Structure 1
Amino acid sequence: MKLFLTCPKGLELLLEEELQQLGISETKQTVAGVQCQGELEDAYRICLWSRLANRVLMPLWEGEAETADDLYQSVQQVDWLSHMRSEGTLLIDFSGQTRGINNTHFGALKVKDAIVDQIRDKTGARPSIDKVAPDLRINVRMHRGKITVALDLSGDSLHRRAYRLKAGEAPMKENLAAAVLIRSGWPQRSEDNAVLLDPMCGSGTLLIEAALMAADIAPGLQRKRYGFSRWTGHHKEIWDGLIAEAKARKAKGLLALSAQLVGRDQDKQVLRSARQNAERAGVAEFIDFATCRLEDLERSALPEGNGLLVTNPPYGERLGETQQLMFLYRHLGDKLKAQFAGWTAAIFTSNPDLCKVMGLRADKQYKLFNGALESRLFVYPVSERREKAEEPGEVKLSDGAQMFANRLLKNKKQLAKWVKREEIECYRVYDADIPEYSVAVDLYGDEVHVQEYQAPKKIDPVKTFARLQDVMNALPVALQIPAEKVILKQRKKQQGSSQYEKHSETHRFKEMNEHGCRLLVNLHDYLDTGLFLDHRPIRYRIQQEAAGKDVLNLFCYTGTASVHAAKGGAKSTTSVDMSATYLNWAKRNMDLNGLDNEQNLQVQSDCLKWLRVQRGEAYDLIFMDPPTFSNSKRMEGVLDVQRDHVDLIDGAMRLLRKEGVLYFSNNYRRFKIDHDALADYQIEEITRATLDPDFKRNDKIHCCFRITHKA
């Protein structure tokens, strides 16, 4: 019989070689598949033993077809009662299109109608559709006027081995994992007491597939059901013979298994899933799973002998920012060179740029597809590290890193007297002063908060990463602090509520003092820390002017301006924001200063909506610092500060008493206040007066206006 096997793109050659190893010689590669010829026993053997195929299709009829009628007539050329019971169940997989059929759902319905009509005409009974466990799965493909009607002998895709019920984030399919292992040379190594290590093993797919290979276990042995299981042409005695042979080979293979398989991951929960998956596959006792961060991995803690490291690290599109992941890949490269000389490393990724920073030269690389993602497998022979070993504690900075460190120290020295005089605990010491090193560096006591500005797409990400690594190398040296006290984040264009999204879940708060106010910051969990350092002067101004006044803080964030007002003797403060998280933070700030009482209120509301419903002149001092843009789901409509600032200011001025003051600030760099629309008010720009020395180098960090009623 003729057979067609489908597989992921990039696996065609490997699948053809696998078929030849299974004793099937008449083969021909096609895109995402291989054609072959064989007996029914060969088809069964492929279903049981193929580690690479997705489906095994047995064509029942091939011909020409363009229209829906042609499709119907073609399907009726098959005697369906020779393949299924009259009241059986079926499922149709339809692909392709023609000038008469451009919808796969319509095509599948037409195929179903043709089968049902034929059986009903002959028997009076009719089969039904079953999308979960059909008796027969039919595959129909139309392409360029040709049609192929085939029986799917595999049923579910063969990559589903029935051992993986739980997987980690972005799991690798089992047949792709098998292909990665074959390309990495594992089948040959597994015969020689080899060590296989996956340092970021996730749900364990690579290691389980490696164990199945090493123990000569048929990948389909665990499956309870195939596409031929209820096919009326099924020969059970042939299948039972293959199963018995596979079980015997498994028993023999497990006894002879000498390969040493090691899985490490920092996520305890996903490792629990990996162990359960390995138990279902029957190989758990042969795989050493343990919790371990990549940075804590030590070669001395692994079995002796040279081995193979195979892993599928995160690659940006799935789990994190490319720049930050480059540190992971660089660290992996450094770890390999320092401790794994003589090993082979195989890294599979859909972002090849990440592998460029590993500092290793690939001996081989292969193009494979992870679903629709074009991916690469890089195979590196790891040689001895040749560079001169550094003295303990010694860090050699590149020329660029030294230049950055020199500018950092110069800025810190220039600010030293001001910092000491004003008793400043947190301030900005560097803000993209050197264009190539586009980061902001803020000191928070004994910790450093680094924000990398997003580079333009035209900039080579590898060069960008190299400069960022210069920064991260230079900071501990220049500032004389441990590297673990440097916190890195990437600042990209913020849209909607993205500025509120969590980056982490540390819940680590740190207390800072500012002009007599105690304020909580969090350097880890969010992009911003809870304290806008550039607003330090306006907060102090509010504190000096607040005595005996009713103060309103709109878009209050963590309520720091309200704390300053209350510490300055405000009669009352009202803090409005739509984020419950930040209002709770504001309440904690008040409580920290002994100000959590009924005179200091927090109101959760969309500020635009809140301003529309308030009436009466109720406040003497108002501070408003809206975001540049927000389309948060918690808001009604979209906020654009350039477009909406007139409505915002009008709304605030309606609540401001005659002698009161509104301080209006925002950080839109191209902001222009509409003097004509706001002609009823006295407007004074005070931006320069609201910049402390640490922000004088960047006078566009914000703009600020003092607005009052005209006499």
Structure 2
Amino acid sequence: MENFKMIAKTLFGFEELLAKELRDLGAQDVQIGTRAVSFAGDKGFMYKANLALRTALKILKPIHQFRAFNEQALYQGIRQVNWSQYLNTNQTFVVDVTLHSENFKHSQFVALKTKDAIVDQFREQGGARPSIDKDHPDLRINVHIDREQVSVALDTSGASLHHRGYRRVTNIAPINEVLAAGMLLLSGWKGESDFMDPMCGSGTLLVEAAMIACNIPANINRKEFAFEKWSDWDNDLFDTIIDSLMKKTREFHYTIKGFDKAPSAVAKARENVQNANLDDYVRIEQANFFETEKETQGPLQMVFNPPYGERLEIQLERFYRELGDTLKQSYPGTDAWFITANLEGLKHVGLKPSRKIKLFNGSLESRLVKYELYAGSRRTKFQNTNDHE
């Protein structure tokens, strides 16, 4: 099978993580862009990338590039593609558009022009034409315009890859699964200690942590990918790729635990963990984190998404102060990471973060922060380990 270029889209701040994931999977010619990483692979690798990548939102397969300064040039450029290679008259399609251009300001207009060019080509060839279906198209076409440069790609994934398939119930402010996986990978989580999410909501971080620990492909529970409707879809190859990925899963010998004080969140989290077939690895309890303490002697990794006060009402200053106090007094020997868009709130934690990483949670500019809680004094820790970070 021939290799071809693909582009994996991701969230701001995850480009290096995604590039590493791609290299580890066996991708060729990996190149980092902004919120995207390009790479090369064959059809089997396209299936594997969609199944296994934790920090990718979409995998695109570029098929054509041209320059366009106006709508006529756009129309003619789209006509240059032989669309009968990808579509027949009984099938449906939809056009997604991303714009960074002075010449083209309305994505709906670009989508309409693209659709016209495709449909007109089919009409000229024989009268019949494929139709538009926005919800379940047979082909999803991606048009990206950067100034006058137009890139046309086929969307291999379909719905965003953060739709893993296990999360059927959510709470008020659920975290995106790709954001959760990226936070875990940035925190260095590999499944080599106990893990805890003390404010677990619908359980996304717990599921993603268990999948990383056991090396389970991120999208193994997903119902479908866009490439399954393509004319060159190879079901046997897809099954072979799944088998090869599942052979690389591993056992996990520590505990993964979640707390939430809301009974409804606990019930939802347990259901999602069950949907992901991970209930052997994850334990969830109803508890107020501020009234808990560390249960084991060994190292603990904590990654969580506390309420921001954006969509969940909290008394900001008191909440962050209690958070810092609980970590300091009750969780020695813990690396605690959390994400917040409330930079004011961080001032009240009362601990100095050892790392701060800029991310976005949806449209909210956020920080992923790390607090190292030592057993005994910090000085003793440094003398014992000669750890000169």
* TM-score, reference length from structure 1: 0.51
1:293 equivalent in structure 2: 288
Match of 2:265 among 266, 270, 276: 270
Q: CA deviation at 1:359?
A: 1.9
Q: CA deviation at 1:246?
A: 2.6
SS at match of 1:344: strand
The more displaced of 118-127 and 169-178 is 118-127
Preserved CA contact (<8 Å) 2:334 2:373: yes
2-structure distance, mates of 1:55, 1:382: 37
Match of 2:317 among 317, 322, 326: 326
Preserved CA contact (<8 Å) 2:210 2:278: yes
1:134 equivalent in structure 2: 137
Preserved CA contact (<8 Å) 1:314 1:325: no
Preserved CA contact (<8 Å) 2:103 2:148: no
SS at match of 2:84: helix
Where structure 2 has 5 or more consecutive residues not aligned to the other structure, the ranges are 379-389
Preserved CA contact (<8 Å) 2:293 2:331: no
Match of 1:314 among 301, 307, 326: 307
1:225 aligns with 2:224: yes
2-structure distance, mates of 1:111, 1:233: 23
1:31 aligns with 2:24: no
1:365 equivalent in structure 2: 356
2-structure distance, mates of 1:72, 1:99: 17
SS at match of 1:51: coil
1-structure distance, mates of 2:212, 2:119: 43
2-structure distance, mates of 1:290, 1:144: 52
2-structure distance, mates of 1:15, 1:221: 18
1:107 equivalent in structure 2: 110
Q: CA deviation at 1:259?
A: 2.7
1:351 aligns with 2:342: yes
2:89 equivalent in structure 1: 86
Q: CA deviation at 1:295?
A: 2.4
Aligned-partner residue type, residue 261 of structure 2: Q
Larger Cα-atom Rg: 1
1:245 equivalent in structure 2: 244
Match of 1:7 among 1, 6, 10: 10
Preserved CA contact (<8 Å) 1:67 1:99: no
1:305 equivalent in structure 2: 298
Preserved CA contact (<8 Å) 2:103 2:147: no
2-structure distance, mates of 1:173, 1:184: 17
Q: CA deviation at 1:183?
A: 1.2
Q: CA deviation at 1:317?
A: 2.2
1-structure distance, mates of 2:101, 2:325: 54
Q: CA deviation at 1:101?
A: 3.1
1:16 equivalent in structure 2: 19
2-structure distance, mates of 1:99, 1:335: 52
Preserved CA contact (<8 Å) 1:48 1:220: yes
2-structure distance, mates of 1:5, 1:56: 4
SS at match of 2:248: helix
Aligned-partner residue type, residue 228 of structure 1: F
1:148 equivalent in structure 2: 151
C-alpha distance after superposition, 1:557-616 (max 9, x if no partner): xxxxxxxxxxxxxxxxxxxxxxxxxxxxxxxxxxxxxxxxxxxxxxxxxxxxxxxxxxxx
SS at match of 1:42: helix
Q: CA deviation at 1:207?
A: 0.5
Preserved CA contact (<8 Å) 2:298 2:333: no
C-alpha distance after superposition, 1:443-499 (max 9, x if no partner): xxxxxxxxxxxxxxxxxxxxxxxxxxxxxxxxxxxxxxxxxxxxxxxxxxxxxxxxx
2-structure distance, mates of 1:305, 1:264: 19
1-structure distance, mates of 2:74, 2:274: 46
Q: CA deviation at 1:97?
A: 5.7
Q: CA deviation at 1:385?
A: 6.3
Alignment of 1:410-489 (within 5 A): none
Q: CA deviation at 1:320?
A: 2.4
1:215 aligns with 2:214: yes
C-alpha distance after superposition, 1:33-60 (max 9, x if no partner): 1112222222221111100011111111
Preserved CA contact (<8 Å) 1:221 1:246: no
SS at match of 1:109: helix
Preserved CA contact (<8 Å) 1:337 1:385: no
1:77 aligns with 2:80: yes
2-structure distance, mates of 1:102, 1:386: 58
Alignment of 1:490-569 (within 5 A): none
Q: CA deviation at 1:297?
A: 1.3
Aligned-partner residue type, residue 366 of structure 1: I
Preserved CA contact (<8 Å) 1:66 1:98: no
Q: CA deviation at 1:119?
A: 2.0
2-structure distance, mates of 1:202, 1:351: 18
Preserved CA contact (<8 Å) 1:85 1:232: no
1-structure distance, mates of 2:39, 2:58: 13
2:387 equivalent in structure 1: none
Where structure 1 has 5 or more consecutive residues not aligned to the other structure, the ranges are 388-711
Q: CA deviation at 1:100?
A: 4.8
Q: CA deviation at 1:31?
A: 1.3
Preserved CA contact (<8 Å) 1:4 1:56: yes
C-alpha distance after superposition, 1:596-652 (max 9, x if no partner): xxxxxxxxxxxxxxxxxxxxxxxxxxxxxxxxxxxxxxxxxxxxxxxxxxxxxxxxx
2:328 equivalent in structure 1: 337
Alignment of 1:379-418 (within 5 A): 379-384=370-375
SS at match of 2:209: helix
* TM-score, reference length from structure 2: 0.92
1-structure distance, mates of 2:172, 2:44: 38
C-alpha distance after superposition, 1:320-368 (max 9, x if no partner): 25xx222122112111111211111111111122122222222222111
2:382 equivalent in structure 1: none
2-structure distance, mates of 1:101, 1:25: 34
Match of 1:174 among 169, 172, 177: 177
2-structure distance, mates of 1:349, 1:298: 22
2-structure distance, mates of 1:32, 1:38: 20
1:183 equivalent in structure 2: 186
1:283 equivalent in structure 2: 278
Q: CA deviation at 1:303?
A: 4.4
2:384 equivalent in structure 1: none
Aligned-partner residue type, residue 248 of structure 2: R
SS at match of 2:229: coil
1-structure distance, mates of 2:327, 2:100: 50
SS at match of 1:337: helix
Q: CA deviation at 1:384?
A: 4.1
2-structure distance, mates of 1:298, 1:18: 35
SS at match of 2:228: coil
Match of 2:368 among 372, 377, 381: 377
2-structure distance, mates of 1:342, 1:312: 20
Aligned-partner residue type, residue 292 of structure 2: L
2:128 equivalent in structure 1: 125
Alignment of 1:195-206 (within 5 A): 195-206=194-205
SS at match of 1:125: coil
Structure 2 vs 1, CA of residues 230 and 123 (structure 1 numbering), >3 Å: closer, same or farther?
farther
Q: CA deviation at 1:304?
A: 4.5
Q: 1 or 2 for the larger relative contact order (CA 8 Å, sep ≥6)?
A: 2
1-structure distance, mates of 2:101, 2:20: 34
